[in-house]
Structure 1
Amino acid sequence: MIDPLIENNPLQIPEIRARVSRLVPLKDAISCVRVSKAWSKDFASFIWCAVDFDIHDTFKDLDSAIVTKHGHNIRSIENIKTQSELNAVLCPTIKNRDVALFSGPFIDAFQHKGVITLVAPIKQVFKPDPESELSSLGFSLLVHFLNLTEWHCYNLPTELFAPIERIETEVTRCCPQLTMINTWMSPQPIIHSLVANAFHGLKRVIFEYSQLSMGVIVALLFHRATLLQVFAFWNNQCSYTERDELPFEGDHFQHSGRAVQLLPRCCPHLKFLEFEGHEMDMDMVEEEKWACRGLEKLRVRIRGLDTKEKIDWTLNLWKEGRQNKDEEDTTLSESHMNEAKDTSIETRVARHLLAFEKLKAVWLGTRTFYT
């Protein structure tokens, strides 16, 4: 076995050691931190990255000085069940604004200004102790996180666990900076109720496309002065789909396509419009200009762009037009499109895309094109 401390050992190179630290098992990483101070610095970040009290049940017994020393490496905390576990990881000396807290049931008021992301269902937030009744006003989990900006408030039941007035009061009082919500696994009535009544000045809203309705669109329009992103993910997957072929996919909201147009027409600050499941009709799109001139990312399907070849042609026209605009020569692009396919669906879509100077990424059913 090669001595890790010899001078010509590759592991003595910090860059290599940092990469290796991400690949070794936890047990080996613990051994590596004992080699030297330099090794300890690289491997400690891996060891402390995630704290799960179902696995690390002795964590709460660690000396507070050790937690203070390494707490800046913590990125996620899971399955907190007692106040002693909470105190062990969220002490005031840990000033990490990137921690994602996957909270467990605890009830005592403890404020931690470093947590900005909360992943917890509504029931858990407002009934943190499963053995007790609904907590009284001011004693939900939200009281712990004054600087919360994102709440992944997924919800399984068909009804809200807490009254909507209660949710609004606690959000307004405890989390004034909360501007992003992810309502994954929530039915349409709950999405509408939360977006319309529980939050003010939302910037980002994520939900499942199958739950899109007129009520949800109206609720989103309540935030038209602040809304930056609407992400309606497709097929239960809160992630992007990249394909080589264009499969047939039904659109339950096709008959109300004009309602979707209200979002880009009425939300001037919208930067990301991601409706992967929706098939826009260009006749409806062209009825009125979109107000979101700063649009940066668009993910929709277009009726008539039903093959990979048509999509590729459309996006190539758009990219060529962008290049010519950057070269201050718009005549060539416009002339090319007019002569080639003046009224084709490809040309109409490309013209529409060229109206947005900051548009950087477009997905129309296959793969994302970037400028």
Structure 2
Amino acid sequence: HVPSLEIWELEHAIEASSSRTMAELRQELSENCSNLKGVVFVDNNSNHISEYLDHVFRRLECCTFPYCSFGSAVLLSLLVHQASLTTIVMIEPKVISLYVDDETPSSQMLIGLILRSCRRLKILSIKGHVMDVDYLEDQEVVCEGLQELRVCFRGLNIPAAINNCLVRLASMKTLSTSLNATDEFHKDDESIELRICHQLMRFKKLKTVWLGTRDYYLPTQ
């Protein structure tokens, strides 16, 4: 009986021999860990992650797992909890290269589904993902309360350019400049930095951004 447990770090997921095994574990957690809000999957087996998300946990708020295990199966299982999820952290590779494209199949589409589905999301950390700003520009996002975002962008792979992008974003936030106003003010500027800033300005409550180098703390509106 561990009522104080809020985050369960699951190092070695148990292979589910039957749906009954999962149901029993679900019931045990419900009875003994009433304050459980999140899980950290250390195991990168995507089948295990999906099974636990589908059959063991209820109304998860926080979920952490290795980025290398991310795929359509894990995404669909995450979306079972879309009404309650506030934090999604995908553990990055040991070495992150700003010059290598993301190798996770269909990752743009999968991340796009998260942005379109998880309304309560406040923290999205996907350091292993390389986002395409072209794709983001075409997406409708519902997680307008996002406060922390960690992701790389294709074409923004030089530390000096990343810093310039963050400084411009901070300036736009400080001035409380609307997206339309910045479009007019910078109408002849089509740089990747400004395009990324435009997209990040959609998240009105964004406070912390990582684009490949370090956490950058934005002024709050």
The reply to whether TM is greater than 0.5 is: yes
The 1:329–1:249 alpha-carbon spacing in structure 2 relative to 1, beyond 3 Å, is: closer
C-alpha displacement of 1:173 = 2.4
Over residues 333-358 of structure 1, what are the superposed CA-to-partner deviations in whole Å (9 max), with x where a residue is unaligned?
A: 4444323x2x3321211001111121
Q: Whole-Å Cα distance in 2 between the matches of residues 234 and 249 of structure 1?
A: 14
Moved more, 227-236 or 171-180: 171-180
TM alignment of 1:345-360, pairs within 5 A: 345-360=192-207
**C-alpha spacing 1:354/1:147, structure 2 compared with 1 (3 Å):** same
Q: Quick check: which has more Rg, 1 or 2? A: 1
> Does 1:262 pair with 2:113?
yes
The structure-2 alpha-carbon separation of the partners of 1:334 and 1:195, relative to structure 1 and needing over 3 Å to count, comes to same
Q: Is the 8 A contact 1:296 1:361 kept in 2?
A: yes
TM-score in terms of structure 2 length: 0.87
Structure with greater contact order relative to length (CA < 8 Å, sep ≥ 6) = 2
- Quick one: distance in 2 between partners of 1:212 and 1:338? 37
Distance of aligned partners of 1:329 and 1:171 in 2 relative to their CA distance in 1, 3 Å threshold? closer
Taking a change above 3 Å as real, the CA distance of residues 168 and 253 of structure 1, as seen in their structure-2 partners, is: same
Q: Does the residue aligned with 2:81 lie in a helix, a strand or coil?
A: coil
Counterpart in the other structure of 2:167: 316
Alignment-mate amino acid for residue 232 of structure 1: M
- In the TM superposition, what is the alpha-carbon distance from 1:195 to its structure 2 partner? 1.2
CA offsets 1:187-218 (integer angstroms, 9 cap, x no match) = 11111111121101000001111111111111
In the alignment, structure 1 segments of 5+ residues that lack a partner are 1-143
TM-score, normalised via structure 1 length: 0.54
The question of whether the paired residues in 2 share the 8 Å contact of 1:204 and 1:229 is answered with yes
Cα-Cα RMSD: 2.4
Residue in 1 that maps onto 2:140: 289
Of Structure 1 and Structure 2, the greater strand share is in 2
Percent identity over the alignment? 27
Equivalent residue, structure 2, for 1:154: 11
> Aligned pair in 2 of structure 1 residues 347, 329: CA closer, same or farther (>3 Å)?
closer
Which secondary structure does the structure 1 equivalent of 2:128 belong to?
strand
Distance 1:330 1:200 in 2: 38
Matches within 5 A, 1:193-272: 193-235=51-93, 247-272=98-123
